[in-house]
Amino acid sequence: MLRFENVGMRFGAGAEVLRDVTFLLEAGSFTFLTGASGAGKTTLLKLMFLAEPPTRGLITLFGHDLATTRRSIQPALRRRIGVVFQDFRLLDHLSAFDNVALPLRLAGRRASDYARDVEELLAWVGLGEKLQAKPPTLSGGEQQRVAIARAVVARPDLLLADEPTGNVDADIAQRLIRLFAELNRLGTTVLIATHDRSLLERTQAREMRLVDGRLVQLRAPRS
């Protein structure tokens, strides 16, 4: 699914943000990426969804060596990835329903085919009564849940989530983790970046830990 080999990343002439990062993310796996603020989690996610190229090292995504893959191929690779951003990236002029449905519309699906799925997904994240609400009228936690619903609605091959439970209460956080687990059960590879270790303690997921830009600890799933 995704392989990093001795990847390093720096911005400009500064010190490397990521150093010699090597790991394999297997298809169908569920992984937490942990580390203190500034450890490099968000930068690592950007490399995973092709927002930035690495300074050095090799990245293989869906069997494609990104160093040699033509630019024209990359949009198709990105469409196989769902991303939950920390800053949500919702479109303020669209309703919650239309924000969530956007990936399906862009894929050419008809509204009559996906309307019920979108409504059920918004209900699952606790926004069933706010289908027509626009992002500026929603709280930060509500916007985050819309962003999560948008990321998972098309059942991506790979889901990357950057602190997806950071703005919600404990009950909603557990509901969202169950949503990610169900998506994983259906075949999606899931990686969640978080500093909330209580999430890890409730799961049997693998852990990858970043410290000062280095991957220093791997926790295998508990049996």
Mean local confidence (pLDDT), 182-193: 92
> Strands 30-34, 56-61: parallel, antiparallel or unpaired by DSSP?
unpaired
Residue 217 has pLDDT above 80, yes or no: no
pLDDT over 90 for what percent of the chain?
A: 63
Residues of 47-85 as b/e, b for ≥16 C-beta within 10 angstroms? bbbbeeebeebebbbbeeebeebeeeeeeebeeebbbbb
Q: What is the pLDDT of residue 115?
A: 94
pLDDT band at 174 (very low <50, low <70, confident <90, very high): confident
Q: What is the pLDDT of residue 195?
A: 83
pLDDT band at 136 (very low <50, low <70, confident <90, very high): very high
Strand partners, 159: 82, 190
Helices and strands of the chain, counted as H and E runs: 7, 10
Residue 159 has pLDDT above 90, yes or no: yes
* CA distances to 68, 70, 94, 154, 190 from 75, in Å: 15, 10, 23, 16, 20
- Which of 13, 5, 179 has the alpha carbon at shortest distance from 84? 179
Report the length, in residues, of the chain. Answer: 223
Mean local confidence (pLDDT), 177-188: 89
* SS3 label, residue 216: strand
Residue 190 has pLDDT above 60, yes or no: yes
* CA distances to 26, 161, 166, 179 from 213, in Å: 22, 19, 22, 30
* CA distances to 54, 143, 191 from 206, in Å: 24, 28, 9
Q: What is the pLDDT of residue 19?
A: 95
pLDDT tens for each residue of 103-113: 999 888 888 89
- Residue 87's CB is within 10 A of a number of other CB atoms, namely 9
pLDDT band at 38 (very low <50, low <70, confident <90, very high): confident
Q: What is the pLDDT of residue 222?
A: 59
Comparing 204 with 123, which gets the higher pLDDT?
123
Residue 34 has pLDDT above 70, yes or no: yes
Q: What is the pLDDT of residue 205?
A: 84
Strands (E), the chain: 2-10, 16-25, 30-34, 56-61, 64-65, 81-84, 158-162, 189-193, 206-211, 214-219
Q: What is the pLDDT of residue 221?
A: 64
